[in-house]
Structure formats: C-alpha cells, structure tokens
Amino acid sequence: MDFNIIRVARAVINVKNLERSRAFYVDALGFIETESDDQHIYLRGLEEHTHHSLVLKKSETPGVHALGYKVQKEEDLDKLDQLFQSKGLKTKWLEAGTQHAVRRALHVHDVSGMPIEFFCQMDRAERMLQRYDQYKGARIQRIDHVNCAVPDVEKAYNFFIKELGFACSEYTATEDDRIWAAWLHRKPSVHDQAFMNGPGPRLHHIAFWLPDPLALIHCCDVLASLGYAANIERGPGRHGLSNAFFLYLRDPDGYRIELYNGDYLTSDPDFEPIRWDLNDPRRQTFWGSKAPDSWFNETSPFLDIETGEEIQVSAPTLAQRKPEFML
C-alpha cells in the first residue's frame, strides 16, 4: 500500500440532549470532557493524548456522521482520495478550520456505503493515564474498535483487506465457507473494524478499551447506583471471538457502546486468522448470558457525507438466521 492507516481513532454521532448525554458519558462512564460548546461535547479516554475520540453533536435527527481513522502522513490522505475516486466512490474534503480539533480530513463512502473519515492531525490533550485521581465510572482508556452491519460481508472484507491494507484476526464462516462476519485490524490487536451480516450499512457498536475486567464490573455498580441499570443490554461476559471480556450498554439516544478488555496481540506476520463455524455458540458467548434480541436486531443509522440524510440500507446477500446463530 502507498498509504498507512494507523488505527480507528474517533466517531461522530448525533444526540438530542447534550446534558443528558454528559450525565451518561462523563458522570457515569467516566470519559474526560476535553471541551464543549452549545452544539458539541468532545470526549476522550484517560490514556488518549489526542483531543477526543468521541464527538457528541446536538441534533434532533439520530445518526453517525463518520467513523474516523488516523493515517501516518498528510500525503496518505491524497492517496486515499485517489483510491476511492478510482473506485467511483463518493469523497469530500474538509479542510483545516472546518471542524474542531481535527485538521485536514477526507470523508468517503466505502463499498458498503459507510461514511468513513481519514485524518492525520488532531490537537493534543493532556494524557491522564497516571492521573488516578481522575479515574471514575468505567475508567475508559481509549477507543478500540467499531462494528458495523453490512449487506455483503465478503465484499467489505475484500475491500478492506486488498485495497486498504487491513488484516483479518478472526472470522465466522458458513458451512459452504461464505464469510458471515469478520474482525479486521490495522493496529496489532484483534480489530479496528468488524463487519457483521445484516441490513446495512448500519452501526452496531463503538467499543472502548478498559484497564481490566474489574473496571467493567465496577461500571455496572456505578450505572445501577445512578439509575442506569436498564441501560445494560448484555453482559458482562466473555466472547469466544477475540477472547474479550465485554459489557454492552445503550446510551440515552440508543447507540450501543461496548466496554472491552482482554484480547490479544496480532502483530506477527505469520499470524493466521481463526475460523469459527457459524453454528458454534461459543464464538459470541464463551460464557455468560445469551444476547437479547435487541443486540441482533437494533442498529444505528449512518448519515450521507454530502446531504447529511440517513443512508438507506440494503438487505443482506446471505439469508438471515435465527438470533442464536447470528454473530
């Protein structure tokens, strides 16, 4: 590849009420509020040295503006623009000064229609890793990955592997070896980007890394004590895929947030992807309670990078299965 995508780095989502969202993300989960105004809240984890990894944008219309990836060099942005244009995919430049804290950025739609952002530079912020006096709630450390429902996982998989330089850590396959779901990465962990089979493109969840499994348990106690017990959708438990300890929450606007810890290193060049059979229940729940139907059936809309309108979804190319057999 002539460019270097480093990692998933941020997400930008619409929320209806900033104060309600602040109470959930800052007071309950423990995000650091870097900055805010009457239209935005910029949040980061304790480990992060950049201005933010999550932007909450005030709007009456729900939706995800972009999933942001950091690249190594400014010229990588121009090369990515050329790639997406050569594929006939929509691109849009946001020059420095048009969005807060992020310098020049490229917004695109990928082969599934997802809005993706690439940027190189973001304003810096104080790294709070050893400010233990600031640790509260879930003790959020950093953004880890995003998971999206797309109608053709193999198409998305091939584009990210062959065109964008991602690698696969694990995948789920049907009996005839069709890819049902895939975990792809640029940083040396299990994933930055996951794809699951379903009507899409839609966002399934944004995941944040926690320092240890106890932080997930502590977060449950904090959420319950603040009246958010009903926001706990699934877990805690352990995935077979990724080996991660997990907890899934729904924020006040319905977005799904995963709190995540315990995956493994994938940096060795001879690492081979792990295949899971679609009928193996251990892949989604190694131990713990089964996922509710909402976890399979409810996702969040993406917004068009030009119009801001909700992107229409397409039906999956592989037939849907009963929830207990899905990702």
Separation between Cα atoms, residue 116 and residue 67, nearest integer Å = 5
Tens of pLDDT, residues 145-175: 999 999 999 999 999 999 999 999 999 999 8
Break the chain into its structural domains and give their ranges.
5-119, 139-304+321-325
Tens of pLDDT, residues 69-81: 999 999 999 999 9
Q: What is the pTM of this model?
A: 0.96
Separation between Cα atoms, residue 210 and residue 260, nearest integer Å = 6
Query: Does domain 5-119 correspond to CATH entry 3.40.50.1970?
Result: no
Is the confidence at residue 321, as pLDDT, over 90?
no
Fold matches, 5-119 and 139-304+321-325: yes
Question: How would you classify residue 78: left for phi > 0, otherwise alpha for psi between -120 and 50, otherwise beta?
Answer: alpha
Report the amino acid identity of residue 179.
Answer: I
Query: Does domain 139-304+321-325 correspond to CATH entry 3.30.70.260?
Result: no
Tens of pLDDT, residues 248-261: 999 999 999 999 99
